[in-house]
Structure 1
Amino acid sequence: MIRVLLVDDQHLVRMGLTMLCESDPDMEIAGEASNGHEAVRLVERLLPDVVLMDLHMPGMDGVTATERIMAARPATRVLALTTFDDDDHLYPALAAGACGFVVKDTPPGELLDAVRRAAEGDSPFSQSVLNRLVEQAVRARGAVREAPAVVLPGLSPREREVLALVAAGHSNQEIAHRLHLGVTTVKTHVGSLMAKTGTRSRIRLAVLAVRAGIGED
């Protein structure tokens, strides 16, 4: 059972998220918070698996709350959930330790899938967010022509295939389906890629892949 803590200053939003999460037999609502201060306290007391964190709240905002939660309980999976998907909100949330970033107009099924992926250790992102991150990496790569190209030695052909699909934004389950592998095998490959490249998140893997010229054909 995935225990979810909902953090949003709007009561109606929390009600809607509660109904959505409780419609999934594998999820339960561990608690609700209306601001960052409450979120930090409840994480310590309730120990949720996933925190759905709004970023714009009065008092302590979601970015600061995420930073404090990760400092106290680094194993907590914080999934940023916001109306905005612009860079002013995205990068501070990632820097604070959020494992993923989902916009509020995400279809219900995709939001539930994002919560599951976060609980499993994955890094779910709305496709628009991932596309923009990758596009920015491409622009940066083109703008700094004198910089040496990123080289990723020691990767097996299969790891390169997995890395290309990670860069394209595919989930572990989607990668497993495309490559005719088990999901556990894909997780092993992703873990190996993170170890070999020194990255700590799926999104950093995706950006590194683009900078190295590895992408889905």
Structure 2
Amino acid sequence: MQPQHTAGPDSAHPRRLILATRNAYKITELRSILGEAGLDVELVGADAYPELPDVKETGVSFAENALLKAHALAQATGHPAIADDSGLCVDVLGGAPGIFSARWSGRHGDDRANLDLLLAQLRDVPDEHRTAHFECAAALALPDGTERVVSGRLTGTLRHEPTGGGGFGYDPILQPHGDTRTCAELTPDEKNAISHRGQAFRAMAPVVRELLG
């Protein structure tokens, strides 16, 4: 059965690639990475298709959620689509918050509440057991169902108190291995060079080359 498209492909842009986000920063980051790799594609965000609803993230892993979003966008538009999903995984909590990172406190996107709850849960955990990592899965899906998944990881330890005014989410408490600062204390360029999403997006470039030519 042929896929049903709610928004047909634009023949003027046969190499259009859609990133499943309305975050302009993410689009700029991936566009730069693809450009540095010499890939001639037109990258647009999901806001280019405002009629499409958001996809529910019902997967049980970062990869599953990324694939759900990428496939939904590719099927709806008829264009290749990339989506990512990421979060913080704390070793002593068995990998939690994980896919629930953005709603750990019960309110989606409440960074401060999520941070405060996690710190409270780790209050009595000593430094040697406060290891954690940010993880990102990025998925590329084609309208014909072809899919690929890559990932990136930034490891570190968790501070007892937030430090730094940059970044977002759990950045103020994760101190990357080999550094004395938290992610929230790094400059944007320093963070991009080591971030889990930056790693995943850079790993995606050769996949785009393979599948899109």
Q: Give the structure-2-normalised TM-score.
A: 0.31
Greater fraction helix: 1
| Greater relative CO (CA pairs within 8 A, separation 6+) | 2
| TM-score, scaled relative to structure 1 | 0.31
Greater strand content? 2
